[in-house]
Amino acid sequence: MAATSTVDPKLLEILVCPLTKGPLRYDADAQELISERAQLAYPIRDGIPIMLVDEARRLDGDEPESANEPGP
């Protein structure tokens, strides 16, 4: 019995990306808050946004840990 969690609209108005301080877009299907500027998707677990960069998913498909590794 999976219930779709929703985020309080008033909370969404005040939340910003912790990395860029920019706006976030709510993706109800994926249960994530999207920062277009940082290219990160912050998960929402049990209705609670997890606003930690280390927990965020990179929108380009890389895992968050790879953001700290040196590139080619």
pTM assigned to the model: 0.75
Average pLDDT, the chain: 83
pLDDT tens digits for 25-57? 999 999 999 999 999 999 999 889 999 999 999
Report the C-alpha gap between 35 and 4 in whole angstroms: 21
Q: How confident is the model at residue 60 (pLDDT cuts 50, 70, 90)?
A: confident
Tokens representing 5 are 């969690």
Q: What is the mean pLDDT of residues 3-24?
A: 86
Q: What residue spans define the domains of the chain?
A: 29-60
Q: Which CATH class is domain 29-60?
A: mainly beta
Look at residue 26 in the predicted model and tell me its pLDDT: 95
Q: Once rounded to an integer, what is the mean pLDDT over residues 15-27?
A: 96
Integer Cα distance of 17 and 55 in angstroms: 13
User: Which residue has better confidence, 25 or 62?
Assistant: 25
